[in-house]
């Protein structure tokens, strides 16, 4: 059984002016997504600025989200690290809180070999008894999960899915061929949802869903319902907005977009900075063209 099917939001972490987590706002966002058809919440991923949260903040955000969601929607926790035993500790703690799954990014900076990557994931999987989603995003971590490595890891009982953000459709197709139904596939790129669904994907872990949750859910649902033309049209119609959501490094544009919508999610943690003004104006224009009402 899949952890979720459809649109999982890579939810932002809202901050107060002093840089601490705004839990009141996080609660609002959780309720907003449950009310607007989001199929799962991914907390403390890249979009949630996990790399600049303290470990205490990181784990408290996970605990809070599980408690507020109350099993109404699956909660998947980003607990990946560049250190295997830190990943184990955070993953165990998240499992104790009651998460429905773990999202484990490839270890960054170390540049492990594929042999080391297999050992890393197998060691974590043995210690953290929860469904695991592998996360391949070499553009950020410098480390790709090859199709052969994915196939080896698919043999582990609780490694159940992969979030693929390589953008390499040929690689993704080979992963699906080699794993033969043993790994669920989630798109890690909002501009490739339909292509990955066509390869057997179960959905998307989405940045776009932060500002267009129903749209992202419906795009997936149309595909699953057999309305391929309708799903494709939604994918193509969203491309200009998606482009603007990634004109600067994520999550700078999406947090800016949420503030433009009046969501008041606060600023970004350094070293991320505020959006360039010309980019912000172009983003706002595209949001309005998409039909989003600015505050």
Annotated active-site positions, please? Answer: 135, 163
Q: Which of 237, 235, 253, 236 is nearest to 245 (CA)?
A: 253
How many residues comprise the chain? 295
Burial 252-276 (b: 16+ CB within 10 A, else e): bbbbbbbbbbebebbbbeeebeebe
């Amino acid at each position: 059984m899949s952890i979720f099917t459809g649109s999982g939001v890579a939810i932002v972490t809202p901050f107060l002016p002093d840089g601490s987590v705004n839990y009141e706002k996080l609660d609002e966002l959780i309720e907003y997504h449950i009310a607007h058809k989001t199929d799962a919440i991914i907390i403390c991923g890249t979009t949630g600025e996990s790399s600049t949260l303290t470990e205490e903040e990181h784990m408290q955000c996970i605990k809070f989200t599980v408690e507020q969601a109350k099993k109404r929607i699956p909660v998947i926790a980003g607990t990946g690290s560049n250190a295997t035993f830190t990943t184990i500790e955070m993953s165990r703690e998240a499992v104790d809180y009651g998460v429905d799954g773990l999202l484990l990014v490839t270890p960054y900076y170390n540049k492990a070999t594929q042999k080391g990557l297999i050992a890393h994931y197998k060691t974590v999987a043995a210690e953290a008894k929860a469904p695991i989603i592998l996360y391949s995003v070499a553009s950020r971590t410098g480390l790709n999960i090859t199709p052969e490595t994915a196939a080896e890891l698919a043999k582990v009982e609780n490694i159940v899915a992969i979030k693929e953000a390589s953008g390499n459709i040929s690689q993704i197709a080979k992963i699906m061929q080699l794993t033969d139904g043993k790994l669920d596939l989630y798109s890690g790129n909002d501009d490739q949802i339909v292509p990955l669904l066509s390869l057997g994907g179960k959905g998307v872990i989405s940045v776009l869903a932060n500002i267009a949750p129903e749209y992202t859910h419906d795009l997936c649902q149309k595909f699953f319902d057999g309305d391929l033309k309708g799903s494709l049209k939604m994918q193509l119609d969203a491309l200009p907005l998606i482009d603007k959501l990634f004109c600067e490094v994520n999550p700078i544009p999406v947090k800016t977009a949420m503030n433009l919508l009046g969501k008041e999610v606060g600023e970004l943690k350094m070293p991320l900075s505020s959006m360039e003004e010309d980019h912000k104006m172009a983003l706002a224009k595209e949001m309005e063209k998409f039909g989003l009402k600015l505050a």
